[in-house]
Structure 1
């Protein structure tokens, strides 16, 4: 018998094994997490695009308001993730204790926040002018798995376990698109659009639980007790709350100063903003451990800002040159009135993405005082936004405030990094 077929089979098997090894190495790398997050963002915004088309401007404006509210209160998720990732990156020898403390804090905090939002459902209903108490209540339910997922993701990020972290992120977007689309196609309504989001959030929590199923020896260190973890989580969450409030308050302002049609158009424009904001989010995930190291943080921040800016420039130019394609992305011909201004929404998304990166650099060095500028900018945006009466006027105010805030934080951040010696920087000394 000839050995050629056997050699061919052996060669084919070796090629398959090599291909599998390369694929696994890719999935476990920073590039792999970038692809996973890109797929998640595409799936998430595909769902918002489907919702915009199926629900129409009026109903979609209400849904966008609810999603913005969930995003703002989702800062607990991001606060838990930042706390876990920073602590594990800085002290990997205490990963068991940190994981145990983080998960305990996440369960208690997520159910407490969820309960508060359920009680506040009538307030959410009134502020967003929904006339739909059930849809408002779903925000309180959805925030629970969102927060738990944040703790799980932070542990995986701190351990640099990119493969399971990528699986968690994929579990956010793809089920949302599949489940949410089925529900709103069956019965187009705001409450079913939110129900699809809520049900889908159970998937990444399940994936995270499987990834963290092996318990480690906890040990003990004074700095990683539950109270210390909670304190840092609260500090991080309030900083991120400021950022996400200023990133989302404009849709609430729009619901109160514009008529329902124009508010829906503005909400459609924000699909572009959120796409450009979250497209480079992988940069923050990968760079955050380096930004936590005094010797690496300045170089990591410069490179990350340059990458985010480059992605933003491509998005702005694409939105300007390919208006018809951009219009389809945000909802189609029903939103044609904002086609010529979509590049401005893309520019706004770029500003917010760079602001997000700057704020994470503050959290990485345990700074606090720079956050006050974000809260001040929020007040200015609300006051200025409430004086507008048109979509263009509101967009102008929002872009001006975000631009001034970015400039101020950029100058302050690099001044601090230049003046502070890496080996002498005390915790909490940053601004």
Structure 2
């Protein structure tokens, strides 16, 4: 008897597993860079990779928009053209902003920024493919797309570093890997998308407006998650920025480790009858993972520092728990934002904007970030305070019942199932 093929429920349960694997793959690139590059070049490389994080905002937006439209049979006739235009437009924005990025991040040239720009079009097409899989509930295809995206990005970057141990080689290699991943996932996604009825009433203007709204929700949080490393690159010396970049690997681990909690609980959070219970359970789960990460860094900081940066950062271990606090607090804030979006409470994004403003004021007005240790302490205090406010709002929210017709709209603001680099 031949073995039974995994059921749809099995593949759905494997989506968080694929997300975690993709996240772990992301750290392979960080670890390879830490061992192949010197401290200054390592900080430069992570600054450029954070530029790619911001560049994934159009991909995030397209995934959520396409997922909602595929699920509600409201795919417009110009969806693919608009998606391609958004990808090319996003790349053009980065190219036009290259002089500013080179000056602000103290980069040696434009090639690395160009590599970041080349990542945008394939990322957008991967977002379309993942959105189709989500909207059509094709969980196997979604798992494949998530893993291919992570593998292409990381394998390409590592190959680039091996060929030439420079930041620009890492970015150009990642772009090449993403192009290959997009080529492997887009064709089956388009076949599935063409099986959906076309809604001739959907306009390009409406599609762009919906995409802009989704981009704001995803983009503002990604900006916050990358802001401290950008400030470090701008204000600290190259050596200090490299030290901070190594610690930021733990920051990102603490931030993205609890991400599957929001993915799994989002349907319950969207139900006004189950929202409060789901929110409490989610905060407990995220809080438990955050506490475990902080405790692990406090006890095994030296070992983790060696794993992250080898012997180049012997003084990093005692400070790693602070990076875990900052990343974990941001993870709690992220869950609170998604819990609010699930019941159409978008006002909580004001917390993220307030956090961004506080970090900028602390760095450039109050001058509280003159050393890498002072920077991570300042960021930890700001983000932890934001998390406390967010949790208080989440735990006291009593969502009103929603009309049946509005339930479908929630799909456009659900959490992303992959971690940006």
Q: TM-score, normalised by structure 1?
A: 0.86
Higher helix share: 1
Displacement of 1:110 = 1.4
Match of 1:5 in 2: none
Match of 2:370 in 1: 389
Displacement of 1:106 = 2.0
Q: TM-score, normalised by structure 2?
A: 0.88
**CA distance, structure 2, for counterparts of residue 71 and residue 56 of structure 1:** 22
Which deviations, in whole Å up to 9, do the C-alpha atoms of 1:106-134 show, x marking residues without a partner? 22211111111111111111111102111
Displacement of 1:318 = 1.8
Which 5+ residue runs of structure 2 have no aligned equivalent?
414-421
Residue pairs, 1:313-392, within 5 angstroms? 313-386=291-364, 387=367, 388-392=369-373
Are the structure 2 counterparts of residues 419 and 308 from structure 1 closer, same or farther at C-alpha, using a change threshold of 3 Å? closer
**CA distance, structure 2, for counterparts of residue 159 and residue 297 of structure 1:** 25
Contact 1:114 1:141 in 2 (8 A): yes
Displacement of 1:240 = 2.0
Match of 2:280 in 1: 302
**CA distance, structure 1, for counterparts of residue 77 and residue 252 of structure 2:** 33
Which deviations, in whole Å up to 9, do the C-alpha atoms of 1:367-396 show, x marking residues without a partner? 332222321221111110231211111111
Are the structure 2 counterparts of residues 27 and 414 from structure 1 closer, same or farther at C-alpha, using a change threshold of 3 Å? closer
Please, which of 397, 400, 403 is the counterpart of residue 420 of structure 1? 400
Are the structure 2 counterparts of residues 425 and 138 from structure 1 closer, same or farther at C-alpha, using a change threshold of 3 Å? same
The reply to whether residue 74 of structure 1 matches residue 56 of structure 2 is: yes
Displacement of 1:45 = 0.4
Please, which of 95, 115, 122 is the counterpart of residue 118 of structure 1? 95
Contact 1:290 1:297 in 2 (8 A): yes
**CA distance, structure 2, for counterparts of residue 156 and residue 262 of structure 1:** 43
**CA distance, structure 1, for counterparts of residue 329 and residue 26 of structure 2:** 21
Match of 1:25 in 2: 7
Structure with higher Rg: it is: 1
Which deviations, in whole Å up to 9, do the C-alpha atoms of 1:333-373 show, x marking residues without a partner? 21121111112212222122222222223333333322223
Please, which of 59, 63, 87 is the counterpart of residue 41 of structure 2? 59
Please, which of 165, 174, 195 is the counterpart of residue 216 of structure 1? 195
Contact 1:99 1:155 in 2 (8 A): no
The reply to whether residue 275 of structure 1 matches residue 257 of structure 2 is: no
Contact 1:86 1:364 in 2 (8 A): no
Which 5+ residue runs of structure 1 have no aligned equivalent?
1-13
Displacement of 1:295 = 4.0
Computed over aligned residues only, the root mean square deviation of the Cα atoms, in angstroms, reads 2.7
**CA distance, structure 2, for counterparts of residue 207 and residue 299 of structure 1:** 40
SS at match of 2:197: coil
Please, which of 369, 382, 399 is the counterpart of residue 401 of structure 1? 382
Which deviations, in whole Å up to 9, do the C-alpha atoms of 1:137-157 show, x marking residues without a partner? 221111221122122212222
Displacement of 1:221 = 7.1
**CA distance, structure 1, for counterparts of residue 179 and residue 10 of structure 2:** 24
Match of 1:6 in 2: none
Of residues 201-210 and 253-262 in structure 1, the stretch that sits farther from structure 2 once superposed is: 201-210
The reply to whether residue 184 of structure 1 matches residue 161 of structure 2 is: yes
Contact 2:302 2:316 in 1 (8 A): no
**CA distance, structure 2, for counterparts of residue 292 and residue 419 of structure 1:** 9
**CA distance, structure 2, for counterparts of residue 143 and residue 361 of structure 1:** 28
Displacement of 1:38 = 1.6
